[in-house]
Amino acid sequence: MKIFVIGLPYDLDDAELEEIFEKFGTVASAKVAIDRETGKSRGFGFVEMPDSTEAKDAIENLNDISLGKKPLVVKEAEERSSGPGNKGGYNKPGFNKDRNRY
């Protein structure tokens, strides 16, 4: 199960995030989102736990605790939709592909 975590301290790294979740079971991966321009944490991340029972236990126990100034929001990550509205280019509303041909 993929878990979304927001409210992380900006100095927390991948290993520390993994360590927090390992208390509840096996962690397949833990990744803090990093800003491309600044190279600094964006304050959220994703954790992958193969056992859904362990993942739900982690979500229940870690949601709303404080690691820094803000309480964590820990929940199951939502799958990205692959519908027509989420693709670039021609599928964007208001984009007329015939009008933009040469």
Q: Output the six-digit token pair for 27.
A: 């962690």
pLDDT at 68: 80
Tens of pLDDT, residue by residue over 37-91, are: 999 999 999 999 999 999 999 999 999 999 888 899 999 998 876 655 555 544 4
pLDDT at 86: 53
Whether domain 2-78 has CATH 1.10.3720.10: the reply is no
Q: Strands, E, within the chain: which ranges?
A: 2-6, 29-34, 41-48, 73-76
Q: Which amino acid, 56?
A: K
CA 77 to chain centre: 7
Ramachandran area for residue 89 (φ above 0: left; ψ -120 to 50: alpha; else beta): left
pLDDT at 79: 80
